[in-house]
């Protein structure tokens, strides 16, 4: 019987030059869950997201995506359909018009020549336009990306994800560089799109308030291990106090 878990993290350990970043970490994720990863600085949130994205190979343990191991996800096209990533700095090419950045979502799935050609003559422009419409930026198709505000740039990154249309979205502190109003705007849009597309979302966040408001489950990491893993409506003030307090006393 096929597993109903879209992600399985099984006893994953990561060492950086002898220092343990993730320590025999295990949890599973069901399709459609929206998970906020919280925890003190250095707890391992970014390392975990990069490991799920297959950028880092575990020293021990394994991660299965839809029952596929890392060797089966070596195929760039397959991986691009499964996982999309969004970061704090958005990874946009600022000198290019918005349309190119949005269509970059397809690069993993297009062949080499189509990708190259698209840099000169954007291919499947209507795809980019539809995605920009959904994030409220349809007038910005040919605008130079550098001219957009931080919040608008993050919405371009969301449009790029819509074009990529992966099953899983990993977001590493996607609102850390935005003011509170823009952060809420981006998070509510991200979670709305994820729900509409029936995707699975894992986001690292520093704000517990946003974690509770926009996510279904919170996984708290401390020193590379799961400190608690609870549905948002079961989180108590003591859980949070001990998560951050313990770190301070170390």
* Interface contacts to ligand ATP, rule CB under 6 A: 16-17, 21, 39, 41-47
Q: What is the DSSP letter of 144?
A: B
Query: HSE of 95 in the Cβ direction (CA atoms, 13 Å)?
Result: 1
By beta-carbon proximity to ligand ATP, the closer residue of 100 and 217 is 217
Nearest distance, CB of residue 228 and ligand ATP, angstroms: 15
Nearest distance, CB of residue 72 and ligand ATP, angstroms: 25
Nearest distance, CB of residue 42 and ligand ATP, angstroms: 4
By beta-carbon proximity to ligand ATP, the closer residue of 41 and 126 is 41
Bridge partners, 64 (sequence order): 8
Assess contact for 38 and 211: CB atoms under 8 A. Answer: yes
Of 100, 185, 93, nearest to 141 by C-alpha is 100
By beta-carbon proximity to ligand ATP, the closer residue of 145 and 203 is 203
Nearest distance, CB of residue 69 and ligand ATP, angstroms: 22
| Cα–Cα distance measured from residue 90 to residue 152, given in angstroms and rounded to the nearest whole number | 11
134-140 long-range contacts, CB within 8 A, separation 24+: 134/159, 134/162, 134/193, 135/159, 135/162, 135/189, 135/193, 137/98, 140/98
By beta-carbon proximity to ligand ATP, the closer residue of 45 and 82 is 45
Nearest distance, CB of residue 39 and ligand ATP, angstroms: 6
| Cα–Cα distance measured from residue 71 to residue 141, given in angstroms and rounded to the nearest whole number | 37
By beta-carbon proximity to ligand ATP, the closer residue of 118 and 207 is 207
By beta-carbon proximity to ligand ATP, the closer residue of 60 and 196 is 60
Assess contact for 38 and 243: CB atoms under 8 A. Answer: yes
Nearest distance, CB of residue 224 and ligand ATP, angstroms: 7
CA angle 121, 126, 128 (to 5 degrees): 80
Q: What is the DSSP letter of 227?
A: E
């Amino acid at each position: 019987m096929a597993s109903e878990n879209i992600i399985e993290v099984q006893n994953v350990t990561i060492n950086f030059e002898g220092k343990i970043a993730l320590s025999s970490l295990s949890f599973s994720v069901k399709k459609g869950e929206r998970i906020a990863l919280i925890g003190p600085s250095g707890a391992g949130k970014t390392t975990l997201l990069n490991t799920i994205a297959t950028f880092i190979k575990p020293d021990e343990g394994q991660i299965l995506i839809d029952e596929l191991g890392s060797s089966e996800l070596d195929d760039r096209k397959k991986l691009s359909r499964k996982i999309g990533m969004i970061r704090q700095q958005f990874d946009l090419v600022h000198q290019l018009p918005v349309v190119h950045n949005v269509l970059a979502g397809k690069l993993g799935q297009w062949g080499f020549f189509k990708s190259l050609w698209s840099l000169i003559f954007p291919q499947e422009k209507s795809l980019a336009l539809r995605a920009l419409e959904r994030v409220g930026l349809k007038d910005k198709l040919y605008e130079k990306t550098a001219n957009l505000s931080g919040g608008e740039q993050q919405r371009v990154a969301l449009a790029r994800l819509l074009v990529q249309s992966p099953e899983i979205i990993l977001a590493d502190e996607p609102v850390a560089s935005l003011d509170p109003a823009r952060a809420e705007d981006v998070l509510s849009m991200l979670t709305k799109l994820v729900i509409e597309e029936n995707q699975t979302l894992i986001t690292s966040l520093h704000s517990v308030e946003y974690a509770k408001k926009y996510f279904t489950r919170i996984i708290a990491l401390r020193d590379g291990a799961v400190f608690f893993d609870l549905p948002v409506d079961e989180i108590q003030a003591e859980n949070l106090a001990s998560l951050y307090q313990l770190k301070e006393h170390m």
